[in-house]
Structure 1
């Protein structure tokens, strides 16, 4: 009898459940609650889809109920797209919400600014209306849409193939190509009138110069970047800004995702590639952020003048290397590089390098483990196969009044293959080099008592950075770099602050008193 009673009870439960009708729950009567009143979808470029945003709709009551209607106020003409409890669309009926439960609503948008306004920016809005009958409630939707100039490879109308650039051939003589295109003559001046959005690699043709005006904004899609061809030139003509937040005169290179969640994500785009034979480059007052390699530079042009003069420039959040230069000729002043997955600065395969008042650091948390490489790596060799190593003369690697630091013990390393020149010199610099295990104590490359190599060096003292993990490399009044640079020094720091001619500070920044008093 016990088993028969249990069986009877089970049958009753199954019968009751099968007879229960979800649609019999009553309608909501204006008693919905929302996780947001207004959903901001942040900023997007015209005709580029936003990220997916979401909010929750709560039933705080003790009863199941049904929301009679959920719909965009603009209806089918709305540029917003919804997904309600797993169902895509722009209007919905009889959406059930169980007692003490909630549902998710996901929102995206793609908006053509030219169909809305002639302005460069446009605030696109709509509302999601709930219970459109007797007890309406709503959540506002807001998106700032920016107009832009879009540059991209052409596509063959017949085959659908996308335009590519020839990079060379591999060991088996097969062509190496990358999706990209050459800029036309009327595209060789990037202005500050509209942002630029680049798909694929935009290439500066041989013999031409790409001029980028103060305040220009250049955005790259994933796997995109800038290539400067043989005998071509890049001129980035940024200027000092008066507003440190807006940086109105700075030239900024970054990805094309404008949402705040992407503001510091490394590896969103490729690189600025100054190829072998390109020459006469100047970069001033630029910010290069969130690339795979901020700048990749191959070979100098054989002349006595720098192939790249880079000043008042910041390179942040590179997934691999901030500045990778192979056999290059670089003159740099007031340069800041921080947070790279491997190396902030790699002076590789020889070359000529002269840096003054620069800050090269690495506080990167990219990846899951500790970095294997330092902030600054200097070498005269490149291994191209298991059996072949290419070497070149390191004619000069001069670091004066520089900070080389980070969150590891050894932030400066050399890699030398004998048989070629290997010339370097460090003066009046602050360097982190804690050789706790005496790995380099007998290595002549690290003979810190040799004043022809190292002079007036400060080791392992606190630079007192403001917030290095957040790319704020300003130094405070307690910095070991204060007043320790070589004199006389003239000019300004990266922010335009006049340097103290009698006692200038080491690094790209003159010291300041931080707002928190530190």
Structure 2
């Protein structure tokens, strides 16, 4: 019995020693600092009244000892930032435990109120971490932009300016006989499902220095070249005498859809770029369309689809379709209009290029005329349409500067240099970049005149 009692006493001492050895140690060093996954956390420009995406901050304890944070909170707590600390919503948490060599996560969102001001404003706050008798700060820094919204989705005659962006969260309808004028530098952002339906007249007056922008409200890098984020522009029967100059329109389902019951409507476009669409870039039905120095690229279907009746003239345009997000069954340009109208489609000094063998189709062989244009087309179709081509180039790489990033300026080795028709260049003497086409007597095919650079 004495031996058993002695053994129990010895075992108790052993367990006590082990328990003491396993007791967790905590870091109380006032000079110790936690590590952050980023130097600071920033959002792309946030529109007032609109929820940001969620970003995360990882806080790492590099010590071999655990640590208790007395408090995690926001310094100002009135700038619109919202925190989720280790899975718990709230801008303040107390007695936060981080084991040795371990971490915690803070998720951050931003929703700023409208201050009714034109200029973007800086929105700053700090996450404060109080521990070991000190405070360590982490910077939250973003820009907020107030926007113009519409309570009424029916538009009367009005003018939009560059003073403040416009935010479109539902379809807008420009009423018949009303005029919407959009000044240079204006930016218009659309939510998913939104677009503008034009029954009146649209005048977009951008400039080389200050183009007009139409695109998605998602400005994060992840969404930069994602099509299908909003609906597009739609023109109807009652819409007359529309003019678009210096517009960049991107990342929609459609770029422009112009449809009428009768062929008495017109749309003119110059110095504009249409980029990234899940369906068509520009589609017309019984609509007259005239364009010069226009780029249409990266479409899930046609870059340009022409149906019904109409007169079409395109000069110094780039129609380029290297769509890769899905299989594309249609060519870059489909001309399915005007079976009885000779030379209704005229394309001069332009580029029709893409990833398919044939990037042009038409319903009738006698209703179009191409001059001094690069075309991706097989030899069989070249022979069928041979009398419709004048000084055209077929199936030769245009040698763009960077087609993957939609930079369609010409490299020095491009076959398109000095191959455009001078008579057309004299009508449109300034290229997409604002450079002269007629500084010599041999202009270039496409929207961009090649300019030699010196190192």
Same-fold call, TM > 0.5? yes
Residues 45-72 of structure 1: per-residue CA shift (max 9 Å, x gap): 1111111111211122333433332111
Residue of structure 2 equivalent to 1:311? 270
CA distance in 2, matches of 1:58, 1:394: 73
CA distance in 1, matches of 2:373, 2:330: 20
Alpha-carbon distance change, 410 to 450 in structure 1, aligned in 2, over 3 angstroms: closer
Alpha-carbon distance change, 394 to 95 in structure 1, aligned in 2, over 3 angstroms: farther
Q: How does 1:380-395 map to 2 (within 5 A)?
A: 380=337
Note the C-alpha offset of 1:409.
2.6
Conservation of the 8 A alpha-carbon contact between 2:125 and 2:140: yes
Q: How does 1:4-403 map to 2 (within 5 A)?
A: 26=26, 29=29, 30-75=32-77, 77-114=78-115, 118=117, 120-131=119-130, 134-153=133-152, 181-185=153-157, 188-229=158-199, 232-241=200-209, 249-299=210-260, 302-303=263-264, 307-366=266-325, 369-380=326-337, 396-403=344-351
Say which SS state the counterpart of residue 293 (structure 1) adopts: coil
Deviating more after overlay: 329-338 vs 27-36:
27-36
Residues 271-330 of structure 1: per-residue CA shift (max 9 Å, x gap): 110112311000001111111111111037534xx7001001100111221111122210
Structure 2: gaps spanning 5 or more residues: 1-14
Deviating more after overlay: 130-139 vs 105-114:
130-139
Alpha-carbon distance change, 287 to 514 in structure 1, aligned in 2, over 3 angstroms: farther
Alpha-carbon distance change, 81 to 513 in structure 1, aligned in 2, over 3 angstroms: farther
Deviating more after overlay: 51-60 vs 282-291:
51-60
Residue of structure 2 equivalent to 1:499? 437
Residue of structure 2 equivalent to 1:511? 450
Conservation of the 8 A alpha-carbon contact between 1:196 and 1:219: yes
Among 400, 403, 408, the alignment partner of 1:465 is: 400
Conservation of the 8 A alpha-carbon contact between 2:240 and 2:266: yes
Note the C-alpha offset of 1:343.
1.9
CA distance in 1, matches of 2:82, 2:248: 34
Residue of structure 2 equivalent to 1:431? 375
Conservation of the 8 A alpha-carbon contact between 1:300 and 1:328: no
Note the C-alpha offset of 1:240.
1.8
CA distance in 2, matches of 1:143, 1:406: 40
Deviating more after overlay: 395-404 vs 62-71:
62-71
Over aligned residues, Cα RMSD in angstroms? 2.8
Say which SS state the counterpart of residue 82 (structure 1) adopts: strand
Conservation of the 8 A alpha-carbon contact between 1:27 and 1:67: no
CA distance in 1, matches of 2:170, 2:443: 44
Conservation of the 8 A alpha-carbon contact between 1:277 and 1:301: no
CA distance in 2, matches of 1:91, 1:504: 66
Conservation of the 8 A alpha-carbon contact between 2:27 and 2:63: no
Structure 1: gaps spanning 5 or more residues: 1-14, 154-180, 242-248, 382-390, 436-440
Say which SS state the counterpart of residue 434 (structure 2) adopts: coil
1:479 counterpart = 2:447: no
Alpha-carbon distance change, 23 to 492 in structure 1, aligned in 2, over 3 angstroms: farther
Note the C-alpha offset of 1:351.
2.8
State the aligned residue count: 432
Runs of 4+ residues over 6 Å off in structure 1: 22-25, 391-395
Alpha-carbon distance change, 426 to 119 in structure 1, aligned in 2, over 3 angstroms: closer
Residue of structure 2 equivalent to 1:177? none
Conservation of the 8 A alpha-carbon contact between 1:354 and 1:399: yes
Note the C-alpha offset of 1:99.
3.1
Residues 50-107 of structure 1: per-residue CA shift (max 9 Å, x gap): 11111211122333433332111113x3410011221111011233333333222211
CA distance in 1, matches of 2:59, 2:419: 60
Alpha-carbon distance change, 226 to 450 in structure 1, aligned in 2, over 3 angstroms: closer
CA distance in 1, matches of 2:49, 2:161: 21
Scaled by the length of structure 2, the TM-score of the pair is: 0.87
Residues 224-248 of structure 1: per-residue CA shift (max 9 Å, x gap): 111111xx1111111121xxxxxxx
Conservation of the 8 A alpha-carbon contact between 2:300 and 2:328: yes
CA distance in 2, matches of 1:68, 1:79: 24
Say which SS state the counterpart of residue 269 (structure 1) adopts: coil
Scaled by the length of structure 1, the TM-score of the pair is: 0.77
CA distance in 2, matches of 1:114, 1:379: 51
Conservation of the 8 A alpha-carbon contact between 1:113 and 1:122: no
CA distance in 2, matches of 1:262, 1:113: 24
Alpha-carbon distance change, 350 to 396 in structure 1, aligned in 2, over 3 angstroms: same
Among 393, 410, 413, the alignment partner of 2:361 is: 413
CA distance in 2, matches of 1:219, 1:238: 16
Say which SS state the counterpart of residue 304 (structure 2) adopts: strand
Residue of structure 2 equivalent to 1:10? none
Residues 92-133 of structure 1: per-residue CA shift (max 9 Å, x gap): 123333333322221111112418xx4521101000011256
Conservation of the 8 A alpha-carbon contact between 1:44 and 1:259: no
Note the C-alpha offset of 1:405.
0.8
